[in-house]
Every structure is written in C-alpha cells, then in structure tokens.
C-alpha cells in the first residue's frame, strides 16, 4: 500500500502514513501560466494506492484528482482509495429550480467512477441518509470527528455548555455532550443569504458559564459570529469554538474574533492555524477496517 500525498496536504498524509505504517510518495503539482494543472505520480505503484487530500477550494483539486486517479490506474493500481476528510460539493443536493445542477450527485458519481473507496469526515448530508446515496460505491464511508473533538474539549475545559447553532448540529453536539458529560443547547438558525444569518438562543442560564459553539464547518463565519454575539448578550463567560472543517472563507476569522470568541479549535481536515485536533487515528482505523 502506498499513500500519495499532495503538497498542500502533506503533513496530514504523513501522519496517516505513520498510523498505517505505509509508504508515502509525493505527487508533483505544477500550475501552468494559463492555470492548467500538471500532475506527476511516481513511475511505479503497488496494487493498492491511497490518495489523501481534502477537497476544500475544490475546482483545481477535482481536476487534479481525475488526472491522478486515471494515471494511477494506467500505472497498474488495482484498488484506489480516496481519503478526503473534507468533501466539497455535498451541499447542493437538490435542484432548487429547474436547471440547477445537483452537484452532490454529479461530483459523487465522478468520484465513484474514479475510486473503489471514498472516506470522508462529517460530510454535509442533509437530505440523504448515507454517503453511498451521493457516491454510489460499496465503500463510501462517512466518519465523524465528534469523538476526537470531545476528547480534545475534555482536555481543555473542566466544564462548558456546548452550543449547537442549528438543528443539524445536534447530532454532533449531543454526542460530544454525552461523551464528556457537558450540558448542551441547540439554537434555532435561519439563513437568509450567504452572509446573513438570524438566530435565537434556547432558554438557558448562560451567565458567566464557559460556552463552546460546536459546528461541522465555518465558512463565512456568520453562524459562529451570530451565536457568539447572542451568547455575550446573554452574559456567557468565555466563548470558544470547535469546528470540524475550518474553511474560514474571506474575512470569516477576523469577523469571528471581533465577536469576542476567545479561541477557535478545529480539526486538521483542512490545514489552518486553528487545526489542532488531528484526525489520523480516526482515518487510520477506518482504512484498516476496509483493507
């Protein structure tokens, strides 16, 4: 087994390689002046090849994945496994108007055509029950970072209220709360635009209590910002954030910190200065279970 690592995801691939006691090789990527991608793999590959790369900022990465997987097959790989802790294009899961591309289904089908196994972490699946409905292969595996986040929070704090900013977050927040014995509450959120979020906090005694806002991803940061402002107004003590996927697009991080958040913690599903919760143990166990 060999793990193919991309330059933008090298440290995560190295940690996974150590977990699996496998071999690592780097994929060479070059961007030509016209933005086309040049992709080069090692000249010979074993039968089982694991491609490790998260698919945030996905457009170039998806083309590079296509070039990488097709070349790996030409070089003789019999089994191709994609480990993509962050899987993009999962949000558009229905045609909201005639003519809208259902990207979840289209990108899912593309990945199913390229890989034998796809492993990801907390994908944004709202209207479907399991990942294989989006990626129609036997081993379409959706893991959760909830336990990793729970262990981390337990090491950082003796007690906190966990706040899920919307009903979708309850699955992770309730699991973490059970695991580490913290209380939790779930807010009601309405998204009125990319950068416009309305929210109401559930009734709770927040006064002077530390609160951790837990979510699957931070994109524009508006969800976290709104939650933090409401918590401040309700008299909460220190406010922290724990997210699985730190996308933090544009001014998101500055915006969040301005809202009075003390610390942001995230997993290394995406490389970011806040990525202190490593997922290699979770991913390594999941790979071991299918080989």
Sequence-ordered alpha helix ranges (H) in the chain: 10-20, 58-74, 103-114, 146-156, 170-180, 222-233, 252-258, 280-290
Instruction: Rule CB under 6 A: say whether 168 interacts with ligand R5P.
Output: yes
Question: Is the Cβ of residue 109 or residue 232 nearer to ligand R5P in the bound state?
Answer: 232
In the complex, minimum distance from the CB of residue 273 to ligand R5P, in angstroms, rounded to a whole number: 17
**230, containing H or E segment:** helix 222-233
Q: Are 29 and 38 in contact (CB under 8 A)?
A: yes
Q: Which of 173, 218, 230, 270 binds ligand R5P (CB under 6 A)?
A: 218
Q: How many angstroms separate the CA atoms of 243 and 265, rounded?
A: 7
Instruction: Write out the E strands in 153-210.
Output: 161-164, 183-186, 188-193, 196-200
255 contributes a contact to ligand R5P by CB under 6 A: no
Interacting positions 97-126 with ligand R5P (CB under 6 A): none
The secondary structure element, H or E, covering residue 288 is: helix 280-290
Residues 183-202 that bind ligand R5P (CB under 6 A): 197
Stretch that binds ligand R5P, among 15-23, 32-40, 221-229, 234-242 (CB under 6 A): 221-229
Number of residues that bind ligand R5P (CB under 6 A): 14
* Contact flag: residue 93 with ligand R5P (CB under 6 A): no
- Helix/strand/coil for 195: coil
Within 13 A of 145's CA, how many CA atoms are on the CB side?
Answer: 32
Q: Contact between 213 and ligand R5P (CB under 6 A)? A: no
Interface segment toward ligand R5P; rule CB under 6 A; list 28-36, 63-71, 93-101, 163-171: 163-171
CB closer to ligand R5P, 170 vs 183: 170
Taking CB under 6 A as the criterion, the residue among 51, 149, 217, 286 binding ligand R5P is 217
Is 33 exposed, middle or buried, given 0-12, 13-18 or 19+ CB atoms closer than 10 A?
exposed
Q: How far apart are CA 75 and CA 105, in angstroms?
A: 28
Smallest distance from ligand R5P to CB 248, Å: 8
The distance from CA 173 to its chain's CA centroid, rounded to whole angstroms, is 16
Per CB under 6 A, 215 contacts ligand R5P: yes
Q: Helix %, strand %, coil % for the chain, to 5?
A: 35, 30, 35
Candidate list 93, 117, 148, 216; residue touching ligand R5P; CB under 6 A: 216
Tell me whether residue 209 or residue 222 sits nearer to ligand R5P (CB atom): 222
The reply to whether 173 sits near ligand R5P by the rule CB under 6 A is: no
- Three-class DSSP category at 223: helix
- Beta carbon nearer to ligand R5P, 148 or 215: 215
Which parts of this chain interact with ligand R5P (CB under 6 A)? Answer: 165-166, 168-169, 197, 215-223
């Amino acid at each position: 087994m060999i793990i193919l690592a991309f330059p933008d995801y090298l440290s995560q691939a190295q940690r996974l390689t150590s977990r699996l006691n496998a071999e690592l090789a780097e994929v060479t990527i070059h961007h030509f002046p016209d933005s086309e991608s040049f992709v080069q793999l090692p000249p010979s590959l074993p039968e089982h090849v694991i491609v490790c790369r998260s698919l945030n900022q996905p457009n170039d990465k998806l083309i590079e994945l296509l070039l990488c997987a097709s070349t790996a097959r030409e070089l003789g790989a019999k089994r191709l496994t994609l480990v993509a802790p962050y899987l993009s294009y999962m949000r558009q899961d229905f045609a909201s108007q005639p003519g809208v591309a259902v990207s979840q289904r289209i990108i899912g089908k593309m990945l199913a055509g390229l890989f034998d196994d796809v492993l990801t972490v907390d994908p944004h699946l709202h209207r479907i029950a399991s990942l294989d409905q989006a990626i129609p292969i036997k081993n379409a595996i959706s893991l959760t970072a909830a336990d990793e986040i729970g262990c981390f929070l337990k090491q950082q704090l003796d007690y906190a209220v966990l706040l899920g900013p919307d009903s979708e977050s309850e699955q992770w927040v309730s699991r973490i709360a059970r695991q580490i014995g913290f209380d939790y509450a779930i807010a009601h959120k309405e998204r009125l635009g990319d950068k416009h979020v309305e929210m109401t906090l559930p009734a709770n005694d927040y006064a002077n209590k530390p609160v951790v806002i837990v979510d699957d991803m931070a994109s524009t940061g508006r969800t976290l910002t709104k939650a933090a402002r409401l918590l401040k107004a309700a008299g909460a003590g220190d406010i922290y954030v724990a997210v699985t996927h730190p996308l933090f697009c544009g001014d998101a991080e500055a915006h969040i910190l301005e809202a009075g958040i003390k610390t942001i913690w995230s997993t290394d599903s995406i490389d970011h200065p806040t990525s202190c919760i490593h997922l290699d143990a979770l991913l390594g166990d999941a790979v071991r279970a299918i080989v």
